[in-house]
Structure 1
Amino acid sequence: MWTIFSLFFLSFYPSLLWGQVNEKKMKRLEKKMKLMERELQRVKTQLQELQDKTSSSEELSSRLDEVEGGMEELSNQNNIKFIQENTLSILQRYFGNKIVNLTGYYDFEYNAEDGKRTNGFRQHHVALWIQRRIYDFNFFTEVEFEDSPFAEGKDSTTSGPVLFRGAIRIERAWGEYLFGDLFRIRMGIMLTPDYWNVNNFPTTTPSVLRPIHVRKILPRDFVGVSLYGDKENLAPGIGFGYNLWIANGPNPNEGHADSNDNKVVGAKLILHLPLQIFDKMDLAGIFYYGNRSNGDTDTIWHVELQAELLGVILMAEFARGHTRVDAPGTQNTKSYGGYALIGYTFFEKYTISLRGEILDLTKTFDLQRRVLISFRYRPIPQVSIKFDFYRHWDKTNGKPNYNGFAFSFAIFF
């Protein structure tokens, strides 16, 4: 048995430096491996007891070979599908807490729209993730280079350099303490936890373009303190997750200080529902309340759904906001937006999806709408090639409707 586990470890060692953490898949894999190990031990015990009985011994020896072969097959499956997505936890298991995990992603795009001046290539992101876990303390940051920034030329008024295209920023940065699956405390700059905003990585999303309402109603990020936890099997067949946060209100310098004494508060509750016919069924809701730097007050509700069944993907989000304007005689504003998506993954590498979207920032009627057909090809889990074909209807200030096309090539490294 030790020989099997030694070969198992050596078989996946070359792939340790690939992929990203996926604890849920690791737990399922470990459960399978434990079941196989128990079966192997049971067969060996029976073989020892019946070694004098030739026919029984031959039968059990054959079964033992099948179990060992099953474990080797599971090891190979692990190497291909799971280990590359669980770098940090594996490194820590075998090498302790001295590992600094450096990874990230890169994506390149082409965008074209009818009668628009935006047609052209785009070097969109180069993002670096740095993570280090020291016992139950964890640090993470994402440094993002967007649109290949550089400086060139002189400003005619100050004779200083002029910055052309792009930005370098800290997308996320936090330190946290991990009490357990259901209680963790995090401090720093974090993305607001609506699903597409948090999972908007070019190698994982089914489309090039994100939905038009994302980051338009709920803010992109916040600086503050968060309590969160998630457990997929809290009770038989059902799981629960949550995220509670208090933060500085949106303002130009929210990383340094708040612009007023009133903090932003938010809460997200997640249910992993026990619908056995689905491979995944998650339903979540978000509540957000707080003041902006100009004194306006936002109250926002958000709901979302993700489901998977035999390759079929269902996703939906809807957000509704109300802003109380801090100016006498000025009317309060309402907004809403969301999307619904249906997709299908076939041969494990190909995904085709249809998505309808809506956004109205002043609560007129269907101010912006968009329909996308997207195709994604992932030759290996770390590489994604995507195509979007879409139609956009826009009633903002009489803007014309238009068709568009987007392409992206992305690598997770």
Structure 2
Amino acid sequence: MASQTSAESDVLRICRDLIRIDTSNYGPGTEGPGEREAAEYVVGQLQEVGLEPELFESEPGRANVVVRIPGADRERGALVVHGHLDVVPADAADWSHDPFAADVEDGCVWGRGAVDMKDMDAMILATVRDFARRGVTPPRDLVVAFFADEEAGGVKGSHWAVDHRPELFEGATEAISEVGGYSVTVPKKGGGDQRAYLLQTGEKGIRWIRLTAHGRAGHGSVPNDENAIARLAAAIGRIDAHVWPRQYVASVRQLLDGLADITGTTYTDEDTDALLAHIPGARNFVEGALANVSNPTMLDAGYKHNVIPQTASVNVDCRFLPGHEDELMDAIGELAGEHVTIETLHRDIALDAPFEGHLVERMKDALRTEDPGCEILPYCLSAGTDNKALKQLGINGYGFTPLRLPSDLLFAPMFHGIDERVPVESLEFGQRVLARLLTDC
């Protein structure tokens, strides 16, 4: 067995250190997470190897870190390698391990952020530190960034950086970040198993909206046929019952066709169950990219038990496929119905990058070098990343957090879920793949 490199040792240490810094993001209007502490940790790790990162805040505590590493060919477009430092909240009572203890057990690092996305943050830091120690010059400039606030739409992180510090990304043409690049293991037609890596080329867009139903205020003891809460409940029921039509964007079609070729399993546009049963660890993400989605998530109504309120509101998380935003909003308008107004709280674009070109081929080469014989397929993420903000500067973003995962690990449900964890071997594998990519990007 080959001896472990210093970078592979570094990646586990850094991942655990970052998980132990509670950077829980509860959203707008709440106390800011511990991003400043995490950002200062990142700065220290970079300065220790002679790099000169810049830390800047969108507001007190909401810290971002960026450092540019000069490449051999400075005329080529730079590559942005980025992660986010915040995480969604976690209730320790629900977990089998303290979500901020970074325990190592059963071959995994446990904790909030283990896959979303302090694992990738650690891979980036370990690789960049190793390059600096060994004097490695990448083929082109690398812009290494760690953003705040991704879990609340990036308003105080990547979007703020793009709007207020665009010069930091000058000349950048492509970017890599979270979620894509992980493996699924599927049965091959003819027997045996095949490992395939899902390289994220697309993302659904975001439309976070608030529906407000209007009615007649009154006493709770008196009949009221204009009850705002009842009107809102009816609108929620219609939205929940609505079946969004399936729309197969190119990256989704390529993924399904690739899985069908490997497994010999047929599918139709109406029935993908048998095919997706082969990828339980990624099924949630893939199913979320088959159609637009709308999920009620927060309610606000009333102020006293015996008072019928004049208004009642619900927040709805809407996600739209590339090219299907207008369709989604038209449908929501019809489903909301009379007496309900719609307000957009946050909007972000959908992404669709090509599954070809120099960077994509280098990502494939890096994976195949570390895992010979693997297949690589594109896919569209049902959620979103900070690549959306960078796209405002013309930068094409990919999801590439390379992880070779055990076949029985249910990966996608761990994002924002309970008992989030990443195998140590997967973390070390990812660092090696990332280093190969950045050596040849």
Q: Using structure 1 for the length normalisation, give the TM-score.
A: 0.23
Task: Tell me which protein shows more strand as a share of its residues.
Answer: 1
Task: Tell me which protein shows more helix as a share of its residues.
Answer: 2
Asked which structure has the greater CA Rg, the reply is: 1
- Structure with more contact order per residue of length (Cα contacts < 8 Å, sep ≥ 6): 2
